[in-house]
Structure 1
Amino acid sequence: MVSADTLEPSVQPGPPSAEKPLLSVEGLTRVYGKRIGCADVSFELFPGEVLAVVGESGSGKTTLLNCISSRLAPTCGTVHYRMRDGASADIYKMSEAERRYLMRTDWGFVHQNPIDGLRMTVSAGANVGERLMAVGNRHYGNIRRAAIDWLARVEIGEDRVDDQPRTFSGGMRQRLQIARNLVTEPRLVFMDEPTGGLDVSVQARLLDLLRGLVSDLGLAVVVVTHDLAVARLLSDRMIVMKDGRVIEAGLTDRVLDDPRAPYTQLLVSSILQV
């Protein structure tokens, strides 16, 4: 059993090891009765890499994301995560408490609807500060300063630190959710349609912000999206899903510029015709 002590964000990772994946998924399957959510999905994600999971509605990409982020138990298959001490841990052999702690520290999850990832009745600063308190920070002044700093990094002014998220626009709420997730310096972030439901101009601004933060912080990211433009802008590699199965996988530019599977060709051409 992995001790929660190994999750402490104060523990520094060892020397970079490019050959060792941060996340390893093997044979992941989730079924709902006779319906397949996802089937026999395998991939590796390396430190600092962004993987996009794309496909039409009902393709299984959100089920896959929920399974690898421990939000939904798979029917079979394994998900291994390389802890900060270098040990590989099977997340579904951890206790529920250990998985929750992992989600509060080393992982982040950005929801499509920021209401699902924020506490709407407390201030913006408190939303960011809560995550710091979850990892042991107790000094109010330090927490508030960190919150203000992170709000600035996601382009929210200091004068909004005491305002509740319900007074924010959709784009501001999404940026606040990003700050809340990144304040503990996670190594892995899951994103579920992070630009969904936003106006085009707001999407562009948010994507530019995300791309900068991912690069500056060296984050590993799994991003689910139906928008191939989002995948191209953010990801290094991508997998294409249909009916719960991986149809094609590879470097993002190769998959989008030279799709080999007929379904991927159809997906790319349909987007280009819009």
Structure 2
Amino acid sequence: MTDTPLFKVNGISKFYGTRTGCRDVSFELYPGEVLAIVGESGSGKTTLLNCISTRLTPTAGSVEYRMRDGAFRDLYRMGEAERRMLMRTDWGFVHQNPADGLRMTVSAGANAGERLMAVGERHYGRIRATASDWLERVEIGTDRIDDQPRTFSGGMRQRLQIARNLITGPRLVFMDEPTGGLDVSVQARLLDLVRSLVNDLGLAVVIVTHDLAVARLLSHRMMVMKEGRVIETGLTDRVLDDPREPYTQLLVSSILQV
């Protein structure tokens, strides 16, 4: 990891009338670092993820991203087209439900190839070859390249969504409960795959999860949220092995059903 952050979140808040989505959240994320945001349902973790990934406009605060030229840009002062291009190229977003992150009625190869076209690739043979390579990397047989995702299992769909996101070489990936809804054995394989890809590619990742085992396996650092606020933060092993806040202690001891 370098000494310069890739991503800076400053005082992000989101209110829905009198209801708090998240309040005054700040943190920095460095290249190659994986940050887990954990908490029970309704803690504000998904609202925060959507605000920092520009999927939801915050009520207050700013989000800055270090572009490839080294300059920091405030995401909410960018034009909409510029933000969309960032999302299609330099960032990835892995949804809990893979159907939200895939086009279910086009082939697996086309799902992966669309992102390549967004960065200017136009050669059909190269697009198909790169898509085929990525299907292999996420453990999908290349004989399925022309099959539609609707014919895939849940685990295969999630692996295809990951390939679609990583094919353009993004530097930052957001993940929203990426193992949610999958069988335990499928979850384990997917987590092993994600961990190896993150390490191999040096990705920065923000992952939202209610599963502390997922956080321990994947993340370097953890933020614990309750009622829209960050109540504890630190290195993942420290937070899980020596939680300081009573709420975090409850989470770790699994008394709360999260």
TM tier, shorter chain?
A: over 0.9
- Structure-1 residue corresponding to 2:17: 33
- Structure-2 residue corresponding to 1:212: 196
Hey, what's the Cα distance between the residues in 1 that align with 2:33 and 2:204? 5
Hey, what's the Cα distance between the residues in 2 that align with 1:20 and 1:95? 25
Structure 1, residues 159-190: CA drift from partner, whole Å, max 9, x if none? 00000000000000000000000000000000
Shift of residue 76 of structure 1? 0.3
Hey, what's the Cα distance between the residues in 2 that align with 1:19 and 1:180? 29
Q: Read off the aligned partner of 2:200 and give its amino acid letter.
A: D
Hey, what's the Cα distance between the residues in 2 that align with 1:135 and 1:114? 22
- Structure-1 residue corresponding to 2:217: 233
From the superposition, tell whether residues 273 and 59 of structure 1 become closer, same or farther in structure 2 (CA, over 3 Å): closer
Matched length: 258
Hey, what's the Cα distance between the residues in 2 that align with 1:19 and 1:214? 19
- Structure-1 residue corresponding to 2:163: 179
From the superposition, tell whether residues 135 and 271 of structure 1 become closer, same or farther in structure 2 (CA, over 3 Å): farther
Q: Which of 49, 73, 76 is residue 92 of structure 1 equivalent to?
A: 76
Give ranges in structure 2 of 5+ residues lacking alignment: none
Shift of residue 225 of structure 1? 0.1
Counting only pairs closer than 5 Å after superposition, residues 248-263 of structure 1 correspond to structure 2 as 248-263=232-247
Q: Read off the aligned partner of 1:268 and give its amino acid letter.
A: V
Q: Which of 57, 62, 68 is residue 46 of structure 2 equivalent to?
A: 62
Shift of residue 270 of structure 1? 1.4
CA RMSD, Structure 1 to Structure 2 (Å):
1.3
Counting only pairs closer than 5 Å after superposition, residues 68-217 of structure 1 correspond to structure 2 as 68-217=52-201
Runs of 4+ in structure 1 off by over 2 angstroms are 271-274
C-alpha contact (below 8 Å) 2:40/2:257 kept by paired residues: no
Shift of residue 272 of structure 1? 9.9
From the superposition, tell whether residues 257 and 273 of structure 1 become closer, same or farther in structure 2 (CA, over 3 Å): farther
Q: Read off the aligned partner of 1:217 and give its amino acid letter.
A: L
Hey, what's the Cα distance between the residues in 1 that align with 2:15 and 2:135? 40
C-alpha contact (below 8 Å) 2:250/2:256 kept by paired residues: no
Structure 1 SS opposite 2:146: coil
Q: Read off the aligned partner of 1:71 and give its amino acid letter.
A: R
Determine what percentage of the aligned residue pairs are the same residue.
Answer: 81
- Structure-2 residue corresponding to 1:11: none
Q: Read off the aligned partner of 1:187 and give its amino acid letter.
A: R
Shift of residue 20 of structure 1? 1.0
Q: Read off the aligned partner of 2:16 and give its amino acid letter.
A: Y
- Structure-1 residue corresponding to 2:253: 269
Residue 49 (structure 1) aligned with residue 33 (structure 2)? yes
Question: Scaled by the length of structure 1, what TM-score is found?
Answer: 0.93
Hey, what's the Cα distance between the residues in 2 that align with 1:142 and 1:238? 39
Hey, what's the Cα distance between the residues in 1 that align with 2:2 and 2:169? 20
Q: Read off the aligned partner of 1:113 and give its amino acid letter.
A: N
Structure 2 SS opposite 1:109: strand
Hey, what's the Cα distance between the residues in 2 that align with 1:126 and 1:151? 11
Shift of residue 271 of structure 1? 6.1
Hey, what's the Cα distance between the residues in 2 that align with 1:40 and 1:262? 21
Give ranges in structure 1 of 5+ residues lacking alignment: 1-16
Hey, what's the Cα distance between the residues in 2 that align with 1:33 and 1:104? 32
Question: Scaled by the length of structure 2, what TM-score is found?
Answer: 0.98
Shift of residue 18 of structure 1? 1.7
